Structure 1
Amino acid sequence: MSKEKSNKTNKPSFNFYWIYAIIAIGIIALQVFTSGGNTREISTNDFFELAKDGYVEKIIIINNQEVEVFIADDRLEDLKDRDKKYKNLSKSKGSFGESPQLTFTPPEPKFFMDQLKEVNSELSEAGQGQIDYKIDNRVNWLQVLLTYSLPILLIFGLWFFMMRRMSGGAGGGGQIFNIGKSKAQLFEKGKGTNVTFKDVAGLEGAKEEVQEIVDFLKNPKKYTELGAKIPKGALLVGPPGTGKTLLAKAVAGEAQVPFFSLSGSDFVEMFVGVGASRVRDLFKQAKEKAPAIIFIDEIDAIGRARGKNANMGSNDERENTLNQLLTEMDGFGTNSGVIILAATNRADILDRALMRAGRFDRQIYVDMPDLNERKEIFQVHLKPIKLQDKVDIDFLAKQTPGFSGADIANLCNEAALIAARKKKSAVELQDFLDAVDRIIGGLEKKNRIISKEEKRAIAFHEAGHATVSWLLRYAHPLVKVTIVPRGQSLGAAWYLPEERSITRTNQILDEMCAALGGRAAEEVIFGEISTGALSDLEKVTKQAYAMVSIYGLNDKVGNISYYDSQGRSEYSFSKPYSEDTAKTIDEEASKIIEEQYKRAKQLLTENRDKLTALAEKLLQKEVIFKEDLVEIFGERPWDSLEPEEQLKEAAKEIIEQADEKSDSEETENNSPAPSESENGSETEETEGQPKE
């Protein structure tokens, strides 16, 4: 049985191009078989010379365009001896009868016939046999076939080619007559992806959820005995590069059931009804092989909320596909033994009917890795790399906050490329640091032309960032500062952000102040500002508006958030607040930014000598590190505090600020009332009473 099965599976599938090959071979064979073997072309004068000498037995005049000449059998050898140019002539038989030995193109028909009659009369007078001639109006079927059928074949071939391209290429669902078939890639038992859960570092919570689904398929009795039901679907949600597709690959490698994998865009074609047809075919195949798992990557391609597409009012193919998917996942018919896995990084735009329990019972959030998870990811990606002994994985994990799993994999590969470029025998720690700079800042451009004045301005700009961030408690700790151009930036300051779960107001304000330190340093030192602070201004503007309109951290606007977690504002032409509120938001955001700018200027003015010393050192060395700032400013006092002490200090500071605020309010309330002569009329108008 196994041999018969293997023979069936190894049997080559029929290729449509064989039809083209058979037609071409047939045309060539027809051309070869209908043509003469050793036919030689001569001139009209040569023909009449041979005719007068009695060598010609008969001729056939074809459509007054060509004359076929047949040499008499008994004179053929004499003709060969007479002239060497006829030595290759032979008595040949074609597939359709006797073939001529010679051919020529006749002159004007009437003139040719008159000459032929003269030759026949001369031969008759000499007592020789006359030349038989026959006029034949032949049809060149090959020419007719090519004339009429070739354009049709070309049109059909072009149409066939376009249909194959539009339907996704050859094979499976790519054929014209299989366009409604599913294009899912099937992983059967024994044919996996070679990725297991051991290859997925970090993501412990997400792995546990997905492993439970795989375990349910392997050992269903363990759950069904307690009355549990298998989840119908699990949705993997998270930022790009965090490992959603990798988790699905691990499921395909671990699960001992058929695994169907495809992308959301595989359902969508230019033809109406194709997406819904492919959904039906996909679930039909999965039910036949149940228990089975279906994985749909980037499900937002078809799962976008209905009624929010740009082409509203038309017969939207995506909505038809989504409707069919909803019906197949949890409709009137039963769908036992089929689990749906899906992945997206845009869960906010998915349709509510798709997200409900019974379709996707579980939403597994795959977040950016924390410090410990980054260590595990580094250990996985550093296995194939030849490392120097001094490479510290803990240090690398601390240097890469905010990196996703894909970013860390790219970082390891980039470090290996840098080491190979420098012809090293192993990858060193400095190669990883260079790779971090390359990924975050871009390619180093040491040959960029910068004038001395511009370089000095850049040095003070970056020194301003470093100085303010060093003097502020909640600003991110500095790692290094450089004035070497990278990518589109002329200089950069590298920080090591803290691993925060929440961010307080003071922390945001300190970060904004540090971001404005570059522009403030330019004004303090040179008395003028430049365009070099574009990215800083963009950053602080977003932070200020987020504080006022999203996080509710502004006293005047109050505890109100205009954040739209459902993404509905994309399709709305009006703002969720009035014009007066919009004006207030703009004023408060500008006020926050200007206050932090003045604060940065004050800090830099008080520490102008240290700022200048740092800038001069930066101009001299081009790259400075934390140790250089310690040499100039001394140690930061709050860096030495333990985490518990930092929390106590922060709580104490919040209490002190609250006390100061209450004291100021009490002072305002206890101040003497204004006299009636000065403010009495205003008081009366605001209270709504008539003026006496």
Structure 2
Amino acid sequence: MDKKDNQPKNNGNKPRLRFNFYWIYGIVFVALMGLYLMNDFSMSKELGWTDFQRFTADDAFSRIVVHNRKNILEATVKSDFRDRIFTPREVQQLTTEPKVYVRIPSSDKFSDFYDKMVAEKHISTQVTYKESDDILWNILASVGPFVIIILLWLFLMRRMAGGGAGGAGGVFSVGKARAQLFDKNTNVKVTFKDVAGLMEAKQEVEEIVEFLKNPEKYTELGGKIPKGALLVGPPGTGKTLLAKAVAGEAHVPFFSLSGSDFVEMFVGVGASRVRDLFRQAKEKAPCIVFIDEIDAVGRARGKNVNMTSNDERESTLNQLLTEMDGFGSNSGVIILAATNRADVLDKALLRAGRFDRQIHVELPDLNERKEIFNVHLRPIKIDSSVDTDFLARQTPGFSGADIANVCNEAALIAARGGKRFVQKDDFMNAVDRIIGGLEKRTRITTAQERRSIAYHEAGHASISWLLEYANPLVKVTIVPRGKALGAAWYLPEERQITTREQLLDEMCATLGGRAAEEIFLGAISTGASNDLERVTKQAYAMVTYFGMSDQLPNLNYYDSTGQEWGFTKPYSEETARLIDKEVQKIINEQYDRARTILRDNAAKHNQLAEKLLECEVIYSEDLEKIFGKRPWASRSEEIMEQQAADASTTAPHA
């Protein structure tokens, strides 16, 4: 068949006008205006000048208004003369005070006539002269308020229909779900190739996609498709990106919405939206429903922060629980959800049958960071100096979002410098910028303050170099960054567990700045406030969480299940005092240890501080020249030392 045959024939006719609901408002408005004008003129009648003179002589008018410029007057007829001036049919239509209008020769002639009537007939008619009388202005003054009210009402209705609480359908569809539908006709470009790392998490969700594509592979063995999968992990690790990849890979309808889309100020709206969402999903089955930030609606019941139950939120959660696994059948509908606060979710939501799988999306390790860098470096023009292995080693603890930010910031820094390619220095500066903050070389500091900062940072660097388990140093600077007047960057070892000796060495290195101020300057300052905060938290964690105290061994006062004890602590007041004493003991011991190390290496510390005052920025190679090579240097430290001049920041320490 020819393509032309499929096209609709117009036969030369003009296209039909589409009906618009606002036409009705226009017709009603015109009708009201016509009725108003007809009613207004129905109360008036034109009289000739001769008849007017005759009725005026009989004192038939109570009031006359003369319009000078138009040579027209309006006369209000007395009730006794209605039958003489108006016909019986006109009298029946009169609803208010009747008027007549007369075209006069001129205002002067009317004035002469009126003076004559007063003198001869002694008439009592009141006369008023007006320079101008705009009939259009009178109409607007009378009808204008109603027009404004109608226009305001139309505006509000249009806003409610367009983007208000009711969504696209207006106030009448406030209970409709706001899910965004992706199907085979939607161009979703994100695939599993764009998700670097997350091998275990990708395997879980890929299996769900494979089940939808080839269900016989699993059903032949008696397996059933999982009803739901919950993505749990810190912010920026790629939970939403993984869901986008599922939408791009799965050739089934994909509904995407946020948990906050269910929450509304109207009672019953959340539950209605849940019902509508699952109704649409059942019609499109098999399909996938993705709920991002599900903690907005799935918070545990009876634990509202305002100490009062939120019936609307709980009713929404109850409806969600029923739809996910109730008496109704939801075969073919798979629920994907993401949250970084799984501890606050309701237990009924987490049970098997609703979310059969909890997929933990953790921070990437060294190899995964390398893959993430390779993904984000695709659109960036780099030269041969950029090494993804080196970048991955310099960014421990970075999430996928952090790495994307590093790549973008490096490109901006290179563009700011007028470069044609992004180089390794740009990436190093980008990491420094993101972690440490922006350099503030214009900040005013006195010579005494600079000396105090230099000795403080040299204390951190010296002790971290001399202790076995302290994090190896990368760079030290006394140039202000962000809120810090000085900073030291380290390359922490990626480990899954930490021993007591490692924690104590880290605490000792953290207290090295305060100890250096006391020993070499003879006065302490407020610059160590951040150090003291970190050390205090770490010491309390050792005593109350890790059971690393001599007086309170093997005790843990933290509930990882998410249950709360209310307003009471899980220990007595006597135990609380003992915890405080143990914390103070641990901190004092490490502070004395730091002072001892600095006294034993005073000359080298002072040499390092003077070097820092001179150069403002020093690297690990400078410490190696002063203190010698660390006897317990690891492979990562050796690689770091080879590229120390370009080393980046990972964990700023002020």
Using the TM superposition, give the Cα deviation of residue 25 of structure 1 relative to its aligned residue in structure 2, in angstroms.
8.5
- TM-aligned CA distance change 1:577 to 1:103, over 3 Å: farther
Partner of 1:124: none
- TM-aligned CA distance change 1:566 to 1:21, over 3 Å: farther
Once residues 362 and 245 of structure 2 are traced to their aligned partners in structure 1, the CA distance between those partners, rounded to angstroms, is 18
Q: Does 1:528 align with 2:512?
A: no
Q: Does 1:235 align with 2:266?
A: no
Partner of 2:593: 599
Taking CA–CA contacts closer than 8 Å with sequence separation of 6 or more, which of the two structures ends up with the larger relative contact order? Answer: 2
Aligned AA (1:380):
V
1:194-245, CA deviations, whole angstroms, 9 ceiling, x for partnerless residues? Answer: 1000000000000000000000001001100000000000000000000000
Q: Does 1:171 align with 2:165?
A: no
Once residues 590 and 536 of structure 2 are traced to their aligned partners in structure 1, the CA distance between those partners, rounded to angstroms, is 12
Partner of 1:252: 247
Using the TM superposition, give the Cα deviation of residue 143 of structure 1 relative to its aligned residue in structure 2, in angstroms.
5.3
Structure 1 residues 361-380: aligned runs within 5 Å = 361-380=356-375
Once residues 503 and 320 of structure 1 are traced to their aligned partners in structure 2, the CA distance between those partners, rounded to angstroms, is 44
Once residues 17 and 443 of structure 1 are traced to their aligned partners in structure 2, the CA distance between those partners, rounded to angstroms, is 56
Aligned AA (2:633):
D
The secondary structure found in structure 2 opposite 1:479 is strand
Using the TM superposition, give the Cα deviation of residue 171 of structure 1 relative to its aligned residue in structure 2, in angstroms.
2.1
Q: Does 1:566 align with 2:564?
A: no
Q: Indicate which of 421, 436, 440 corresponds to 1:426.
A: 421
Using the TM superposition, give the Cα deviation of residue 560 of structure 1 relative to its aligned residue in structure 2, in angstroms.
1.2
Once residues 580 and 294 of structure 1 are traced to their aligned partners in structure 2, the CA distance between those partners, rounded to angstroms, is 52
Structure 1 residues 239-318: aligned runs within 5 Å = 239-318=234-313
Aligned AA (1:498):
E
Once residues 24 and 224 of structure 1 are traced to their aligned partners in structure 2, the CA distance between those partners, rounded to angstroms, is 65
- TM-aligned CA distance change 1:429 to 1:20, over 3 Å: farther
Q: Indicate which of 506, 523, 541 corresponds to 1:546.
A: 541
Once residues 515 and 113 of structure 1 are traced to their aligned partners in structure 2, the CA distance between those partners, rounded to angstroms, is 109
Partner of 1:626: 620
Once residues 325 and 63 of structure 1 are traced to their aligned partners in structure 2, the CA distance between those partners, rounded to angstroms, is 76
Using the TM superposition, give the Cα deviation of residue 573 of structure 1 relative to its aligned residue in structure 2, in angstroms.
1.1
**Structure 2 contact 162–168 (Cα < 8 Å) conserved:** no
**Structure 1 contact 461–519 (Cα < 8 Å) conserved:** yes
Once residues 376 and 104 of structure 1 are traced to their aligned partners in structure 2, the CA distance between those partners, rounded to angstroms, is 98
Q: Does 1:332 align with 2:327?
A: yes
1:90-147, CA deviations, whole angstroms, 9 ceiling, x for partnerless residues? Answer: xxxxxxxxxx99999979x9959727989xxxxxxxxxxxxxxxxxx99977655444
Structure 1 residues 343-492: aligned runs within 5 Å = 343-492=338-487
- TM-aligned CA distance change 1:582 to 1:143, over 3 Å: same
- TM-aligned CA distance change 1:110 to 1:65, over 3 Å: closer
Using the TM superposition, give the Cα deviation of residue 4 of structure 1 relative to its aligned residue in structure 2, in angstroms.
9.9
Q: Does 1:496 align with 2:491?
A: yes
Once residues 13 and 562 of structure 1 are traced to their aligned partners in structure 2, the CA distance between those partners, rounded to angstroms, is 71
- TM-aligned CA distance change 1:29 to 1:215, over 3 Å: farther
Once residues 455 and 26 of structure 2 are traced to their aligned partners in structure 1, the CA distance between those partners, rounded to angstroms, is 74
Structure 1 residues 588-667: aligned runs within 5 Å = 588-639=582-633
Partner of 1:78: none
Tell me the TM-score normalised to structure 2 length. 0.79
- TM-aligned CA distance change 1:627 to 1:30, over 3 Å: farther
Q: Does 1:181 align with 2:179?
A: no
Partner of 2:649: none
Q: Does 1:190 align with 2:188?
A: no
**Structure 1 contact 164–176 (Cα < 8 Å) conserved:** no
The secondary structure found in structure 2 opposite 1:445 is coil
- TM-aligned CA distance change 1:250 to 1:105, over 3 Å: farther
Once residues 155 and 63 of structure 1 are traced to their aligned partners in structure 2, the CA distance between those partners, rounded to angstroms, is 40
What is the total number of aligned residue pairs between the two structures? Answer: 566
**Structure 1 contact 238–366 (Cα < 8 Å) conserved:** yes
**Structure 2 contact 540–583 (Cα < 8 Å) conserved:** yes
1:533-581, CA deviations, whole angstroms, 9 ceiling, x for partnerless residues? Answer: 1111111111101110011111311211111223444x72111111111
**Identity over aligned residues, as a percent?**
64
Once residues 205 and 297 of structure 1 are traced to their aligned partners in structure 2, the CA distance between those partners, rounded to angstroms, is 20
Once residues 199 and 642 of structure 1 are traced to their aligned partners in structure 2, the CA distance between those partners, rounded to angstroms, is 29
Once residues 538 and 326 of structure 2 are traced to their aligned partners in structure 1, the CA distance between those partners, rounded to angstroms, is 46
Deviates more, 1:342-351 or 1:550-559: 550-559
- TM-aligned CA distance change 1:16 to 1:581, over 3 Å: farther
Once residues 64 and 394 of structure 2 are traced to their aligned partners in structure 1, the CA distance between those partners, rounded to angstroms, is 90
- TM-aligned CA distance change 1:106 to 1:403, over 3 Å: farther
Once residues 112 and 165 of structure 1 are traced to their aligned partners in structure 2, the CA distance between those partners, rounded to angstroms, is 67
Partner of 1:579: 573
Aligned AA (1:253):
G
Once residues 22 and 462 of structure 2 are traced to their aligned partners in structure 1, the CA distance between those partners, rounded to angstroms, is 72
**Structure 2 contact 544–579 (Cα < 8 Å) conserved:** yes
The secondary structure found in structure 2 opposite 1:638 is coil
**Structure 2 contact 104–110 (Cα < 8 Å) conserved:** no
1:326-349, CA deviations, whole angstroms, 9 ceiling, x for partnerless residues? Answer: 000001111111000000000000
Partner of 2:152: 154
The secondary structure found in structure 1 opposite 2:185 is coil
Once residues 304 and 105 of structure 1 are traced to their aligned partners in structure 2, the CA distance between those partners, rounded to angstroms, is 85
- TM-aligned CA distance change 1:367 to 1:17, over 3 Å: farther
Q: Which runs of 5+ in 1 are unaligned?
A: 6-10, 36-47, 52-60, 71-99, 119-136, 644-692
Partner of 2:114: 114
Once residues 305 and 171 of structure 1 are traced to their aligned partners in structure 2, the CA distance between those partners, rounded to angstroms, is 31
Using the TM superposition, give the Cα deviation of residue 277 of structure 1 relative to its aligned residue in structure 2, in angstroms.
0.3
The secondary structure found in structure 2 opposite 1:639 is coil
The secondary structure found in structure 1 opposite 2:224 is coil
1:161-215, CA deviations, whole angstroms, 9 ceiling, x for partnerless residues? Answer: 47976517x525xx11110000000012131421000000000000000000000
Aligned AA (2:298):
G
Structure 1 residues 109-148: aligned runs within 5 Å = 114=114, 144-148=142-146
Using the TM superposition, give the Cα deviation of residue 367 of structure 1 relative to its aligned residue in structure 2, in angstroms.
0.1
Once residues 309 and 289 of structure 1 are traced to their aligned partners in structure 2, the CA distance between those partners, rounded to angstroms, is 35
Aligned AA (1:618):
L
Using the TM superposition, give the Cα deviation of residue 469 of structure 1 relative to its aligned residue in structure 2, in angstroms.
0.1
The secondary structure found in structure 1 opposite 2:226 is coil
Partner of 1:657: none
**Structure 1 contact 64–106 (Cα < 8 Å) conserved:** no
Structure 1 residues 85-104: aligned runs within 5 Å = none
- TM-aligned CA distance change 1:615 to 1:4, over 3 Å: farther
